[in-house]
Amino acid sequence: MNDHVFLFTADGLRYDRLSQNGYPIETTPTLDALADSGAACTQAIATGTGTRKSFPGILTSSYPLMYGGYAQLTDHRTMLSTVFDEAGYTTLGINANAQLHTRFGWDRGFDVYFDSEQTVINEEIGSFNVESDAEIAVSPFRQRINSLKSSVYERLDQDGPLYRAVERMYRLVEERTPPHPTADEIVDRTLEYIDKAPDDQPLFVFAHFMETHSPYVPPKEYRDAVGAPDVSADELWNINDRYFPKVAS
């Protein structure tokens, strides 16, 4: 029997803020322990500066501008999940980043994929079936927002000023909660999916986290642990509001 394979990625996690890499505050004890007991790559280079430009390298081993660009995952790119699927693995994807949504094709090769909004079952395996696994309920307002986001992604240059203006407006009307599933939710969902997977097949599990990505409103206990100033959650949101319009203009 082949061994299980797990690929965990974290959005916006800075190399120089890991204590394993010399940061003076102990920020990543679990990652440090994994690096000490295994291997750590100290000269890995991303294929781009953002999600859409980096993940073609991570999940398809290709550069972002190959095969027709990176806005939509074209059929010419071979997904890592497809390779594992063809090798007899159960493939599970649990994702918190809307840029890795099924609308862009990132669920290809996964038997089951959480696209940051709902579960998509491409292959009925184990305890997964399309009748019993209902999609996450989405409010009418959220449906309209998601529909607008889909149209923006499909029609606008995501590096252009019009897209950035729409993105800024979206931040202003969005609820005062992080616009992505939390790390706790991703971990719980990952364990749930593993429990529902077949027992007689090896697993390939991809889980992506957004906690180290903006908006930066970390819980107080984590801010205290690194000696951050003691400010209210409202002030943290105000700081984010002042920062993002600047980079979006």
Q: Rounded mean pLDDT of 30-51?
A: 88
Least confident of 42-46, 60-64, 96-100, 192-196: 42-46
Angle at 51 between CA 50 and CA 56, to 5 degrees: 110
pLDDT reported for residue 27? 87
To the nearest whole percent, how much of the chain has pLDDT over 70?
Answer: 78
38 to each of 3, 43, 46, 129, 184, how far by Cα in Å?
16, 16, 21, 37, 25
Q: Rounded mean pLDDT of 2-31?
A: 90
Question: Does pLDDT of 6 surpass 90?
Answer: yes
Render pLDDT for 169-188 as a digit per residue (tens, 0 to 9).
655 555 566 678 889 999 99
Q: From the CB of residue 160, how many other CB atoms can be counted at a distance below 10 Å? A: 9
Of 68, 123, 59, 115, whose CA–CA distance to 90 is shortest?
123
Q: Rounded mean pLDDT of 3-12?
A: 93
- Domain layout of the chain by residue ranges: 5-213
pLDDT reported for residue 236? 80
DSSP strands (E only) in 164-212: 203-209
Q: From the CB of residue 6, how many other CB atoms can be counted at a distance below 10 Å? A: 13
Q: What is the sign of the dihedral through the CA atoms of 7, 8, 13 and 16?
A: negative
Name the residue with higher pLDDT: 135 or 170.
170
Tokens of 147: 């529909």
3-class state of residue 168 by DSSP: helix
pLDDT reported for residue 134? 47
Name the residue with higher pLDDT: 167 or 72.
72
Q: Which of 12-16, 167-171, 186-190, 236-240 has the highest mean pLDDT?
A: 186-190
The CATH classification number of 5-213 equals 3.40.720.10
> Please, which pLDDT band fits residue 40 given cuts at 50, 70 and 90?
confident
pTM for this one? 0.78
> Please, which pLDDT band fits residue 240 given cuts at 50, 70 and 90?
confident
Q: Which residues of 75-99 are buried (b: 16+ CB within 10 A; e: fewer)?
A: eebebbbbebbeeebbbbbbbbbbb
Of 196, 203, 207, 208, whose CA–CA distance to 84 is shortest?
203
pLDDT reported for residue 150? 57
